[in-house]
Amino acid sequence: MSRKPVLPGQVMPSGQLATLGVMGGGQLGRMFVQAAQEMGYFTAVLDADPASPAGLVSHYHIETGYEDEQGLAQLMQRCEAITTEFENVPAPALMTLGAHRPVAPSANAVAVAQDRIAEKAHFVACAQAGGAGPAPYAAIETEALLQAVPDNLLPGILKTARLGYDGKGQARVRDRAELAAAWEQMGRVPCVLEKLLPLQAELSVIVARGADGQVVHFPPQRNLHRDGILAVTEVFEGNLPAELVQQAVAATTAIAHQLLYVGVLCVEYFVIDDGSTHGALVVNEMAPRPHNSGHYTLNACDVSQFELQVRAMAGLPLTQPRLHSPAVMLNLLGDLWFDDAGQPRTPDWAAVLALPGTHLHLYGKLSARAGRKMGHLNVTGATVVQVQATARRAAEILGIAPWH
């Protein structure tokens, strides 16, 4: 399909401004919509929730499920190009859309990210071409494969092959008995068992790739997860060893190229303690979309991950982002909306916003609950020391546990 650019502010034969669509109405869709609107596009969101954060701010909100034929037809009719805000949009729906409109990322790329078994195989192929490989693993789809798991993969982490995110669909297992019990508890669905490795650090790399094969990237982000959910991201010069930075960027670029990927892609890595000075890089998983760990780009870079998402899907030039300020991003979960006794409260935003360099982003969600992503706080400043001190003070005000 032709990738003729869809220009900002372009008036289409219908008489409407060029419209970009997104499958999914969560916070990632909301920030995509806002970036597209800033550039002069109309936007359309397909999401069944009438109160979805993206739907509430979009020009058009198609309130149907992802596989609803009439909804997909409306989205195609409205839009010149379409993207997705999360990887669990059904790949067949993206394939239907892709037969009529440019869809970035493609259904094939999203399908790989939806299946850990296919994803691991892709990482192995990329590692053979010089990238970082995954942790030692085994696919478990049958009783025979369960019995054939090598002893050296235990202890390990059992993960469902599909529909796992933010620590869901995972279980640590120490021995074969726990492995068998965990697989049974997960309903004997296809799973991946990964060897438990000595974790030293976590990082992620976000790239954007155009249909012409051009790739640009953000600086690798150092991440801290708690209970499987991202808590803190730190980005500044020297936050990670130079060798790991170069390897992670090269590996992520290879992963995008071999998928013929178009759009924004995030790949998460583990740094494993192998006795070397900087550790060994192991690829964990990929997200075919903008990522929680890239939200700092809204305030610390001259182009955000969401603007690059717009540019890639619209066929516009991609420019190499520049980090103009050191940054710390704090994830704001619904737990912060309740006191120690479980009573509802409003976080002290006034005290947080009195701190220099704080940028509050709330997602417009109408109700808070524990573990729900309600927003994020970006902290920028002139120096790393200043930014880290401000971020720690903001965390103290909000009741976020300290980190090292």
- The DSSP line for 356-375 is TTEEEEE---S---TT-EEE
Token readout for 372 is: 């729900």
Report the residue count for the chain: 404
Burial of residue 54 (number of CB atoms within 10 Å: 0-12, 13-18, 19+)? buried
CB 107 within 8 A of CB 98: yes
Alpha-carbon distance values, 104 to 20, 176, 231, 262, 341 (Å): 11, 41, 28, 5, 45
| Domain 19-103 CATH class label | alpha beta
Token readout for 163 is: 């529909």
pLDDT per residue over 319-330, tens digit each?
Answer: 999 999 999 999
Token readout for 14 is: 């219908």
Using DSSP bridges, classify how beta strands 191-195 and 170-173 pair: parallel, antiparallel or unpaired: unpaired
Distance between the two ends of the chain, CA-based, in angstroms?
A: 49
pLDDT per residue over 22-79, tens digit each?
Answer: 999 999 999 999 999 999 999 999 999 999 999 999 999 999 999 999 999 999 999 9
pLDDT per residue over 76-96, tens digit each?
Answer: 999 999 999 988 899 999 999
What local confidence, expressed as pLDDT, does residue 276 receive? 85
pLDDT per residue over 256-305, tens digit each?
Answer: 999 999 999 999 999 998 888 888 999 999 999 999 999 999 999 999 99
pLDDT per residue over 155-165, tens digit each?
Answer: 999 999 997 66
What local confidence, expressed as pLDDT, does residue 404 receive? 79
Average pLDDT, integer, range 368-373: 94
What global pTM score does this model have?
Answer: 0.95
pLDDT per residue over 110-138, tens digit each?
Answer: 999 999 999 999 999 998 766 789 999 99
| CATH T-level fold of 136-195 | Dna Ligase; domain 1 (3.30.1490)
How far apart are alpha carbons 125 and 137 in whole angstroms?
A: 14
DSSP conformation class of 402 = P
Q: Is the peptide bond before 8 cis (omega within 30 degrees of 0)?
A: no
What local confidence, expressed as pLDDT, does residue 278 receive? 85
The per-residue b/e assignment along 129-142, b for 16 or more CB within 10 angstroms, e otherwise, is eebbbbbebbbbee
Give me the residue spans of the domains in the chain: 19-103, 136-195, 199-398
What local confidence, expressed as pLDDT, does residue 228 receive? 87
What local confidence, expressed as pLDDT, does residue 87 receive? 86
Give the three-state DSSP class for 193. Answer: strand
Which contiguous run of DSSP H or E holds residue 138? strand 137-140
pLDDT per residue over 164-209, tens digit each?
Answer: 666 678 899 999 999 999 999 999 999 999 999 999 999 999 999 9
Token readout for 9 is: 């502010």
How far apart are alpha carbons 8 and 375 in whole angstroms?
A: 28
In the predicted structure, residue 235 carries a pLDDT above the cut 80: yes
What local confidence, expressed as pLDDT, does residue 164 receive? 66
Token readout for 126 is: 């990329």
What local confidence, expressed as pLDDT, does residue 130 receive? 64
What local confidence, expressed as pLDDT, does residue 330 receive? 98
Average pLDDT, integer, range 141-148: 95
Architecture per CATH, domain 199-398, reads as: 2-Layer Sandwich (3.30)
CB 233 within 8 A of CB 254: no
Q: With bands split at pLDDT 50, 70 and 90, how would you rate the model's confidence at 2?
A: very low
Q: Which of 23, 87, 11, 90 is nearest to 58 (CA)?
A: 23
Average pLDDT, integer, range 231-238: 97
In the predicted structure, residue 397 carries a pLDDT above the cut 60: yes
